[in-house]
Amino acid sequence: MVRTVVVHDEELLRSALVQLLRSDAALEVSSMSPGAGPPDRDMSPADVWVVDGDCLRGPGQAHDAPFRARCGDRLVVLTTAKRPGILRRAFDGGALGLVDKNAPAHRLITAVHTVAEGKRFLDQTLTVALLEGAEMPLTTRELSVLSLASQGAPMAEIAARLHLSRGTVRNYMAAAIRKVGARNRVDAIRIVQSAGWT
């Protein structure tokens, strides 16, 4: 039996993934929400973790480090080609399995078995997006400026929080807008968030 844990923030989708995986008699499946504490001591350790890519946030933002600490590389991440940032983060973080959310159901089951054997599984539909994810055009500082702007912070607050002058913040913002091909700051934030870079 391959002990598998499904991690997803939405109860309905988490339950659906559990039922899908339980259709394979060789899988013993349980689930948990991303914010749940560490597993009970009585609980058997998982062989494979199936995690929704949206649960893996950027550095310092959420549950990413605890998942990697618990499961190491025996991680199957569900994502889409439209989110190259999330895809790249999962790959760089050592996830062995990357499955497209738009793939047929049997692909997830195949991925779980492949990862349980310690082998890499990459959905072919994600390969181009993975390469695109490596080409994130923004610097860390430009990304920080956009991230704070996305939270509604005005220029003065962004400058104070990042210990920069307002002119420098405006320059970073203008560079970020230009690099992602956006029309304005709102469009740049939308592009960056859609790609999963924040």
Q: What is the pLDDT of residue 92?
A: 77
Closest C-alpha among 61, 102, 58, 97 to residue 82:
102
117-140 pLDDT per residue, tens: 999 999 888 887 777 666 678 888
pTM, whole model, 2 decimals? Answer: 0.67
14-35 pLDDT per residue, tens: 999 999 999 999 999 999 888 6
| Long-range contacts, 15-18 (Cβ 8 Å, 24+) | 17/50, 17/108
59-114 pLDDT per residue, tens: 434 444 555 665 566 899 998 888 877 887 788 778 899 999 999 999 999 999 99
Q: What is the pLDDT of residue 42?
A: 42
